[in-house]
């Protein structure tokens, strides 16, 4: 074995240097890699939370939309009964009520859509803000290592 090591010109300093490299590697990976891993996992969790919040908001909008659809169906049934009773006044009031429900439904839908768009833009801008400094930091560390 010593003949092979002598032939390869490997002495004890190689093993010391190898051990020191291993120690430095584990120390530095603990100091530098773990914060990046935590940062990435935190960002991932925030993204998951934002997506969950957006999905919850979408479900709430869909629920309100179905409530409005049920209200609209009920208003139509009431309008039909009023029509059958022959009262023009009741027909006029039902048409106004249906129009109000439709306008309110449209407004609520547009508001919900705007909220979703704002949330999407906010998430995108937050990601862009987070990725910029992170990428600069990674580039600096990589270039500093070279």
How does pLDDT run along the chain (146 residues), one tens digit per residue? 677 766 777 777 778 888 999 998 888 888 888 888 888 899 999 999 999 999 999 999 999 999 999 999 999 998 787 768 777 677 778 889 999 999 999 999 999 999 999 999 998 888 888 887 778 788 888 888 75
Asked whether 79 and 94 are in contact (CB, 8 A), the reply is yes
Which pLDDT belongs to residue 67?
93
Asked if 2 and 59 sit in the same domain, the reply is: no
In a domain, 68, yes or no: yes
Which pLDDT belongs to residue 146?
59
In a domain, 141, yes or no: no
- Domain count of the fold of the chain: 2
In a domain, 65, yes or no: yes
- pTM, two decimals, is 0.35
Asked if 101 and 120 sit in the same domain, the reply is: yes
Which pLDDT belongs to residue 1?
65
Q: Which domain holds residue 113?
A: 47-131
Asked if 51 and 79 sit in the same domain, the reply is: yes
Show the tokens assigned to 16: 């010391």
Asked if 30 and 56 sit in the same domain, the reply is: no
In a domain, 127, yes or no: yes
Residue 87 CB neighbour total at 10 angstroms: 13
Asked if 76 and 106 sit in the same domain, the reply is: yes
Which pLDDT belongs to residue 19?
92
Show the tokens assigned to 45: 């969790």
Asked if 32 and 52 sit in the same domain, the reply is: no
In a domain, 83, yes or no: yes
In a domain, 11, yes or no: yes
Show the tokens assigned to 34: 């773990």
């Amino acid at each position: 074995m010593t003949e092979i090591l002598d032939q390869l010109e490997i002495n004890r300093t190689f093993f010391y240097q190898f051990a020191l490299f291993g120690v430095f590697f584990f120390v530095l990976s603990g100091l530098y890699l773990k914060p990046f891993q935590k940062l990435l996992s935190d960002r991932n969790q925030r993204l998951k939370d934002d997506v969950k919040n957006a999905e919850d908001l979408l479900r709430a909008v869909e629920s309100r939309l179905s409530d409005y659809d049920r209200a609209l169906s009920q208003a139509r049934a009431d309008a039909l009964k009023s029509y059958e009773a022959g009262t023009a006044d009741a027909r006029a009031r039902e048409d106004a009520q249906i129009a109000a429900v439709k306008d309110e439904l449209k407004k609520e839908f547009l508001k919900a859509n705007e909220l979703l768009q704002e949330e999407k833009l906010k998430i995108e801008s937050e990601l862009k803000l987070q990725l910029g400094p992170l990428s600069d930091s990674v580039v600096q560390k990589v270039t500093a290592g070279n």
